[in-house]
Amino acid sequence: MSTGGSLNTEPGEGGTAPARFRISRDLGTVAATITAVAGLLYVFLVVTVTLHVVIVLGAMAVALWLLQRDPRVEASIAGSFERRRSFALVLGVAVALAYPFAIGQNTYHIHLLVICILYSVLTIALNFQLGSANIPNFATGATYGIGAYSSALLALNHGWNFWATLPVAALAATVFGFAIGLPSMRTRDAYLALVTIACGVIIHQLLNNFEWTGGAQGLIGIPAPSVFGHSFTQPLRVFGLTLPAQANFYYLALLLLMLAIVVAGRLHHSRIGLAWNALRADEIAARSVGINVVWYKMLAFAVDAFLAAFAGVVYAFYVGYIAPDNFTFLVSVMLMTMVIVGGMDNVIGVIIGTFLLTLLPEKLRVFSDYRLLFYGLVVIAFLSIRPQGLFPQRLRRYRGVE
Amino acid sequence: MEQVVQQLINWLALGAITALLAVGFSLLFGVLNVIHFSHGDVALTAPFVAMGVLIALPAAGFGVAIIAAIVLVGFMGVILDWVSIRRFRSAPPMMALVATVALGIVLRELIRLLYPNGSNPHSFPRLFEGTAFTIAGATVSWLVVAMIGCSVLTMFALTLILYRSPLGMRIRAVSQDLEMARLAGIDPNGIFQATFFIASATGAVGGLFTASYVGLMRFDMGIIAGLLGFSAAVIGGLGNMTGAIVGSLVLAGLETLAQAILPDGAAYRLVVAFTLVLVVLVFRPAGLLGRVPVPKV
């Protein structure tokens, strides 16, 4: 699942004994890292005792502190991943596919994972602007909502099935994305932030007030999707093992996430990604070398909206019930926090940040009343201790450059 | 006619509260170059602080509690800066934005948890009772008179402080050029703290009037109040005090108009307000009174 830029081939790879030693060391590092991450996620999912949650968080903090102390560790792990990309990819996908089996029958844990994955898709979408181009966007919650609502309305009022609503919802959200992007032609920074806030609040208020969107009560009874006659409400049977119905959506969301990661990687390495990075570094310089600043800004909004809409559609059909309060300004703020805490312009970092910040409130449920308070404090602490995010963006690397 | 006058009075009252909040946003942005997103939440803690003082010291009386709340909230702004916001001074602006949003969450939750029965709305007494006078058949309460009067007085005092006092000169110096101000022997941290105190105390006055005007205080009032105050500041042009006042009057005017004219006006109040924000920013990207800075390398 590596997205770091790597087309570089090692000179003198293979053959000699040290090189072979390095291959096995790389493979070991990759396998150990993926296992560790999967294991940590599992532990984080199953812990319920408050003390244990605190211990796990403390362990993560210590690990991060060590990474901060000695950047070589991070660099060496990243290097191993880059040299063994296909192995890392296969192992990562295999672990992700096998995960529901490890969790077994606990539907709550699978549900949490589905939500984490959907939020990851949203944060990857937001990362195009916030991370790559450094454009603030407080309207991702709104585009997410437009995706969810348009698909739900088509399904409820016109009997469309899930797969047919997907492209239409994505199109609707993309048009909206371009519309938010329009003012970015002239406004910047704080002003652009306010434009997106305004769009987000307007969409939320309209969803809340219109009768045909169900008002504050929202829409109920969105039919579950089915594929090849297998309804997603049925338990999933694979290799004689039965997984709860939520697993259907786990795999659907996972597919979407993989798609999002591939799209993100492709865009990052394309001229578009480069143009976004140039915008982030210096808008005037970018303009001076002939980058169409306005077009690339609007494109960032449109791509964000497109991906966010997919997440919205899957969410609507998964939960079967949507209300305006799922798509508030605060949701957008949470998404921005996840991107920033995870690390801007680093897809792996963004996903880790999203999982952490989605699961954290659930784990803090033991504190019930103090949940949000802790959430806010954790975010502020993270931003003060490691302001560049957990996993900051890495330098672009090109063929032949070590 | 009576209706029109009544709406005009509502407009001025709403504009007065919004301006008290907007000025804080503008001042903080002008001096620190930071969008202090939790400013609305800071301001709206004031009614809770006032009632809290009254609970702790029932003998103090309401007037003392109000004054105490304004001063305490002012210091709260300074403390928040000292604890958290100053750490993001050299960070990318986006970080500071998210940090202050998180700070807003923390503040709201603290009110909810610390104030007795904080999750529920509480009634907040009117700061001034009775009807002041009637004009063209419309009644004007003392509260509204006080709101408008206090707002005007506060703006006047702020102008005096900013443009006629040594402190104001230092604040403006830091706002114009931090490095040069430092070279001239000004301690920027002291100026930042003074700015936070002034902005938060001004916001507290606005927060107290907001709660008194609606007769309620709720722990999450700060979000919408803050968003509207921020919008007003941006409509007028951030970092510009006159702009903040003009922006507040325009925003409040449209809100009042929407409530008076649209059939379901109250529900669409925010939609109308934020549509105005969009329209203004599309045509005047730096606000009504702001000038778009010429970007230089």
Q: Determine the residue type at A297.
A: K
Q: Check residue A143 and give its pLDDT.
A: 93
Low-confidence winner among A42-51, B155-164, B255-264 (lowest mean pLDDT)? A42-51
B227 at A interface, C-beta within 8 A: yes
Q: Check residue B117 and give its pLDDT.
A: 87
In this structure, is residue B261 part of a structural domain?
no
Residues of A whose CB is below 8 A from B274: 197-199, 201-202, 205
Residues of B whose CB is below 8 A from A195: 277-278, 281
A188 at B interface, C-beta within 8 A: yes
Q: Of residues B92 and A113, which shows the higher confidence score?
A: A113
Residues of A whose CB is below 8 A from B35: 190, 193
Q: Check residue A203 and give its pLDDT.
A: 92
Number of cross-chain residue pairs from A and B with Cβ atoms under 8 Å apart: 130
Strand B216-217, strand A241-243: pairing: unpaired
Q: Check residue B20 and give its pLDDT.
A: 95
% of chain A with per-residue pLDDT over 70 = 92
B262 at A interface, C-beta within 8 A: no
Q: Check residue A4 and give its pLDDT.
A: 43
Low-confidence winner among A154-158, A219-223, B65-69, B261-265 (lowest mean pLDDT)? B261-265
CATH number, residue A188: 1.10.3470
Q: Of residues A5 and A200, which shows the higher confidence score?
A: A200
DSSP state of A391: S
Mutate to test the interface with A, among B35, B113, B120, B270 (most CBs of A within 10 A): B270
Residues of B whose CB is below 8 A from A380: 84, 99, 102-103, 106
In this structure, is residue A78 part of a structural domain?
no
Is the pLDDT score of A7 beyond 50? no
Contact across the interface for A201 and B84, Cβ inside 8 Å = no
Is the pLDDT score of A9 beyond 60? no
**Mean pLDDT confidence for B22-37:** 88
List of residues 6+ apart from A279 with CB closer than 8 A: A133, A134, A135, A286, A291, A293, A296, A297
Q: What are phi and psi of B290, to 5 degrees?
A: -80, 155
Q: How far is A236 from chain B (nearest CA, A)?
A: 40
Which run of H or of E encompasses A231? strand A230-231
Q: List pLDDT tens digits, range A299-329.
A: 999 999 999 999 999 999 999 899 998 898 8
% of chain B with per-residue pLDDT over 70 = 98
In this structure, is residue B73 part of a structural domain?
yes
- ipTM, 2 dp: 0.83
**What is the pTM (predicted TM-score) of this model?**
0.85
Total structural domains within chain A: 1
Q: Residue A377 is nearest to which of B35, B101, B106, comparing CB atoms?
A: B106
Rounded distance between C-alpha atoms, residue A51 and residue B229, angstroms: 42
Q: Of residues A24 and A3, which shows the higher confidence score?
A: A24
Q: What are phi and psi of A219, to 5 degrees?
A: -110, 135
In this structure, is residue B230 part of a structural domain?
no
Q: Of residues A2 and B258, which shows the higher confidence score?
A: B258
Q: List pLDDT tens digits, range A70-108.
A: 778 777 887 888 788 888 888 888 888 888 888 877 888
Mean pLDDT of chain B: 89
In this structure, is residue B86 part of a structural domain?
yes
What confidence tier does A253 reach under pLDDT thresholds 50, 70, 90?
very high
Contact across the interface for A370 and B113, Cβ inside 8 Å = yes
In this structure, is residue A190 part of a structural domain?
yes
Q: Check: CB of residue A85 under 8 Å from CB of residue A6.
A: yes
Contact across the interface for A201 and B238, Cβ inside 8 Å = no
Q: Check: CB of residue B244 under 8 Å from CB of residue B20.
A: no
Q: Both tokens of residue B253?
A: 């005017």
Q: Residue A337 is nearest to which of B98, B231, B281, comparing CB atoms?
A: B98
Alpha carbon of A211 to those of A152, A319, A399: distances in Å?
15, 21, 56
In this structure, is residue B210 part of a structural domain?
yes
Contact across the interface for B227 and A197, Cβ inside 8 Å = yes
| CA neighbours closer than 13 Å in the CB half-sphere of residue A370 | 8
Residues 3-32 of B with CB under 8 A from A: 29
**Mean pLDDT confidence for A387-394:** 72
Q: List pLDDT tens digits, range B49-65.
A: 999 999 998 888 888 99
Rounded distance between C-alpha atoms, residue B114 and residue B59, angstroms: 21
What confidence tier does B295 reach under pLDDT thresholds 50, 70, 90?
low
**Mean pLDDT confidence for B231-241:** 87
B143 at A interface, C-beta within 8 A: no
In degrees, rounded to 5, the angle at the alpha carbon of residue B277 between the alpha carbons of residues B275 and B278 is 65
Q: Check residue A399 and give its pLDDT.
A: 56
B294 at A interface, C-beta within 8 A: no
Contact across the interface for B94 and A340, Cβ inside 8 Å = yes
Chain centroid to Cα B236, Å, comes to 14
Q: How far is B118 from chain A (nearest CA, A)?
A: 11
Low-confidence winner among A167-176, A369-378, B65-74 (lowest mean pLDDT)? A369-378
Residues of A whose CB is below 8 A from B278: 183, 195, 198-199, 202
Q: Determine the residue type at A98.
A: A
In this structure, is residue B66 part of a structural domain?
yes
**Mean pLDDT confidence for A253-260:** 94
**Mean pLDDT confidence for A377-401:** 72
Mutate to test the interface with B, among A135, A140, A189, A201 (most CBs of B within 10 A): A201
List of residues 6+ apart from B238 with CB closer than 8 A: A190, A191, B25, B26, B29, B30, B286, B287, B290
**Mean pLDDT confidence for A367-375:** 75
Mean pLDDT of chain A: 83
Rounded distance between C-alpha atoms, residue A64 and residue A50, angstroms: 21
Contact across the interface for A198 and B282, Cβ inside 8 Å = no
- Domain span at A300: 105-366
What is chain B's length?
297
Total structural domains within chain B: 1
Q: How many CB atoms lie within 10 A of CB A263?
A: 16
Is the pLDDT score of A284 beyond 60? yes
Low-confidence winner among A7-21, A113-127, A332-346, B222-236 (lowest mean pLDDT)? A7-21
In this structure, is residue B246 part of a structural domain?
no
What confidence tier does A375 reach under pLDDT thresholds 50, 70, 90?
confident
Residues of A whose CB is below 8 A from B228: none
Rounded distance between C-alpha atoms, residue B228 and residue B225, angstroms: 5
Q: How far is A345 from chain B (nearest CA, A)?
A: 14
Residues of A whose CB is below 8 A from B267: 205, 208-209
In this structure, is residue A164 part of a structural domain?
yes
